[in-house]
Amino acid sequence: MSANARRDPAPAATKPTRSDGIARAQGAHRAGRAVVVSLQIGVFVLFVGIWQALAAAGVLDPFFFSRPSAIALKLWGWMASGYIWPHLGVTLLEALLAFLIGTVCGVIAGFALARVELLAAVFDPYIRTFNALPRVILAPIFILWFGLGIASKVALGVTLVFFIVFFNTFQGIREVDPMIRNNVKMLQANDWQMVRHVYLPSAMAWIFSSLHTSIGFALVGAVVGEYIGSARGIGYVVAEAEGVFDTAGVFAGLILTSVVVLLIDLGIDRLERYLLRWRPGAE
């Protein structure tokens, strides 16, 4: 999942201008992509169609399973009336804060433990224990500590994001090529310059490959926290719908969350492709 950041030891010589063969290969790849996308849409249409048909035929009880048309109407109603936007805004804000705080703490802790052998040895059992803990059961505690507002949701998200970023940073720093380390040391880099020019960029590849997971978890933390106790956010909307047996509302909330995660993921893909363009095979 996150271990794909290792560099190829000796990438084959690349000619400065792209040869014909490669250009054709890419064209072929694109043609294949069109097929994949149409099949993906096909799967969606088939799934939704069967669901709708079974619900219409009475095989699936709409009370428990709702039906796609009702869910779509629900979503549309939320958006048209403007009801959903403040809730979505709150959830995104919580996720963003959890993501930022978790990432910064994870990077700092990863750095510290990777560079200081004693710290790593001392904290190793605690980190393992805490990471093994199902974080969701912390939600009630956080609500007691931080109240029903956004702070408790951010805290939950942070506990999820932190470990992903921490482990990836730790690994990234440990895997720095000793040749590169010695080279920059010989160019008379001081400790801070070593961090800035060697350790951080090297760990960056690992941190980035973990972003997809951690941004998803940041949102999970927010939504689960809201679901358990709050007055705003997508999780609250889902909990409310559940309370009045509004199955369409529950599904609409789930779908909205998935779509948001998907969009953020696409954005990260682009950012990653730009920032990690130095890696072999990145083009």
Partner 1 sequence: MNGEASAPSAVALENVAVRFATAAGGVHGVLRDISLAVPEGVFLAIVGPSGCGKSTFLNVAAGLLQPPEGSVRIFGEPLTGTNRYAAYLFQQDALLPWRTVLGNVMLGLSLRGIPRREAVAEARQWIERVGLGGFEDRFPHQLSGGMRKRAAVAQSWIVDPRILLMDEPFSALDVQTRQNMENELLDLWQGSRKTVLFITHDLEEAIALADEVVVITAGPNATVKGRYAVGLARPRDVAEIRLDPEFNALYRQIWDDLRVEVKRSRNDVPS
Question: What does the block give as tokens for 207?
Answer: 């941190």
Q: Which is nearer to partner 1, 26 or 182 (CB)?
A: 182
CA dist 135 and 106 (Å) reads 16
Q: Print burial letters for 121-154: b (CB count within 10 Å at least 16), e (below 16).
A: eeeeeebeeeeeeebbebbeebbeebebebbbbb
Q: Which is nearer to partner 1, 177 or 265 (CB)?
A: 177
Q: Smaller CB distance to partner 1: residue 207 or 241?
A: 207
Please report how the helices 139-146 and 200-228 are oriented relative to each other, as an axis angle in degrees rounded to 10.
80
Nearer to partner 1, 63 or 278 (CB): 278
Cα–Cα nearest to 219, from 128, 93, 62: 93
Which two structure tokens, joined as six digits, stand for 131?
């990471």
- 8 Å CB contact between 268 and 214: no
Give, rounded to a whole angstrom, the gap between the first and last alpha carbons of the chain: 20
Q: What is the Cα–Cα distance from 229 to 250, expressed in whole angstroms?
A: 16
Q: Are 172 and 134 in contact (CB under 8 A)?
A: no
In the complex, what is the shortest distance from the CB of residue 2 to partner 1, in angstroms, rounded to a whole number? 18
The Cα 120–Cα 127 span in angstroms is 10
Q: Least CB distance from residue 278 to partner 1, whole Å?
A: 4
Q: How far apart are alpha carbons 221 and 214 in whole angstroms?
A: 10
CB of residue 126 to partner 1, shortest distance in Å: 29
CB of 12 to partner 1, least distance (A): 9
Report in angstroms how near the CB of residue 22 gets to partner 1 at its nearest. 13
Least spacing, CB of residue 244 vs partner 1, in Å: 53
Which is closer to partner 1, CB of 125 or CB of 191? 191
CB of 168 to partner 1, least distance (A): 16
In terms of CB distance, is 178 or 243 closer to partner 1?
178
Q: Which secondary-structure segment (H or E) carries 238?
A: helix 234-243
CA-based torsion, 74, 80, 86, 90: positive or negative: positive
Least CB distance to partner 1 at residue 246 (A):
51
Of residues 93 and 189, the one with the C-beta less far from partner 1: 189
Q: For residues 203 and 250, which CB has a smaller minimum distance to partner 1 in the complex? A: 203
SS3 assignment, position 133: coil
Point out which residues bind partner 1 (CB under 8 A).
7-8, 10-11, 13-14, 16, 177, 179-180, 182-190, 193, 197-198, 201-202, 204, 277-280
